[in-house]
């Protein structure tokens, strides 16, 4: 069974971080943290983002920030797309 390209890139990225010479780098994208999220606490979101090496963009939104703050999320997506070419 063939590995989908996106999963292959993810596997390569993890391998690279774990010291494998076979891994290839992939861009680290920003993380949007909803400061009013009551499902995944903002402190946990920030911790995961820092661990991934992401920049953090905070917005006063709940768990579904793409609906509560679509302009913020769209701006992050556009900026990320422009940064990778």
Antiparallel, parallel or unpaired: β 56-59 and 31-34:
parallel
Residues 66, 75 contacting (CB under 8 angstroms): no
What is the model's pTM? 0.67
Chain segment 59-68, per-residue pLDDT in tens: 999 999 999 9
pLDDT at 7: 46
Within 10 angstroms of residue 61's Cβ, the number of other Cβ atoms is 20
For 18-71, how does the pLDDT look when each residue is reduced to its tens digit (9 = 90+)? 454 555 566 788 999 999 999 999 999 999 999 988 999 999 999 999 999 999
């Amino acid at each position: 069974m063939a590995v989908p390209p996106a999963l292959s890139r993810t596997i390569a990225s993890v391998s690279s971080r774990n010291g494998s010479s076979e891994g290839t780098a992939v861009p680290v994208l920003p993380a949007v943290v909803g400061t009013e999220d009551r499902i995944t606490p903002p402190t946990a979101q920030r911790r995961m983002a820092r661990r991934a090496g992401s920049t953090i963009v905070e917005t006063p939104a709940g768990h579904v920030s793409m609906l509560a703050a679509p302009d913020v999320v769209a701006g992050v997506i556009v900026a990320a797309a422009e940064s990778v070419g």
